[in-house]
Amino acid sequence: MKRFLHSTLIVLGMVLVALLPAIAAAQQSTETVTVQVSGQTPLGTAVIGTIVLQRTCGSSTTSNVTFNGMVNGHPARFTGTVRENWLGNGKEEVEVLSTDLKGLVLGASPLRKILLVQTGANTIAVDGIPVAIDGTLVQPCGGRTSYTVTNVGQGARTIQQLPNTASTQIVDHAQWLMQPYVLSGLFIGAGALLLLASRLLRDRSHGRQGVAAAQEL
């Protein structure tokens, strides 16, 4: 019995030793993921482009990230390195290790952590902000290699026209009104005018009261 157990253990050990390099190789595999992003920030900046993640799979996944796209119609590109930690249940923590994107880096190490949480069938929250995604977020190196991400709540978009590739630059004349600072300026201006009007009314009523009081006297 003892000999049988001994030989079984030896065989199992040999099988494990034979499998270990394969397991290690599988853990060190790579995966390339593309994420098509289109959206508008609360300040009105339009961002559209493709993020390519080149992942090196392992217990924690390190990825080289490149973004190629447009910000407000102008070309934009950034690169960086991130570490992805899958927390389970559709949650992932993304640590930005390095990037040449201005405004994201504050100098601390890790530079910044972003928490992604699946909140519904087609929605995730990025640091608490809901974002639309096509389907569910799959753990790094889990096989899904393509995502589409947009602003949430817009609904499916219909395309009824081919792209307008005319020579002339198309300018939406009402669009400048929707710029946040212009909008803010308009409100401040309107507020100031209302205050001025209320003051004028008060002065006028005070003036009337003064005249009435003088007449009474």
Partner 1 sequence: MIRRWIRHLLAIMGCAAMLVGFGYGGTIAYLSWREQVSPSTQRILVLQNGQQIPLVQPTSLPRMPVSSAAPEIPSGVTNVLSVTPVPPAPVETSLPPVRIVIPKISVDWPVVLSDNDHMPQFQGVGWLMGSGFPGASGNMVLFGHLGGPYGTFMRLHELQQGDEFSVFTQVGEQRYRVRSTYETTPDDVAALAPTNHASATLITCSGPWNPVAQTNERRLIVLADYLQPLASAQK
* Residue 50 near residue 35, CB atoms below 8 Å: yes
> For partner 1, which residue of 27, 50, 60, 198 counts as binding (CB under 8 A)?
50
Q: What are phi and psi of 91, to 5 degrees?
A: -115, 140
Residue 89 touches partner 1, criterion: CB under 8 A: no
> For partner 1, which residue of 73, 88, 103, 107 counts as binding (CB under 8 A)?
73
110 preceded by cis ω (within 30°)? yes
Nearer to partner 1, 23 or 46 (CB): 46
Instruction: Determine whether 106 is exposed, middle or buried from the number of CB atoms within 10 Å of its CB (0-12, 13-18, 19+).
Output: exposed
Residue 33 touches partner 1, criterion: CB under 8 A: yes
Q: Give DSSP secondary structure letters for 47-109.
A: EEEEEEEEEE-SSSEEEEEEEEEEETTEEEEEEEEEEEEEEETTEEEEEEEEE--TTT--S-S
Stretch of residues binding partner 1 (CB under 8 A), selected from 46-54, 80-88, 175-183, 205-213? 46-54
* Residue 152 near residue 38, CB atoms below 8 Å: no
Site string for partner 1, 140-179 (x = CB under 8 A): -----xx-xxxxxxxxxxxxxxxxxxxxxxx---------
Residue 61 touches partner 1, criterion: CB under 8 A: no
> For partner 1, which residue of 5, 17, 121, 214 counts as binding (CB under 8 A)?
121
List interacting residues with partner 1 (CB under 8 A).
31-34, 36-38, 46, 48-50, 52, 66, 68-70, 72-75, 119-123, 125, 130, 132-134, 145-146, 148-170
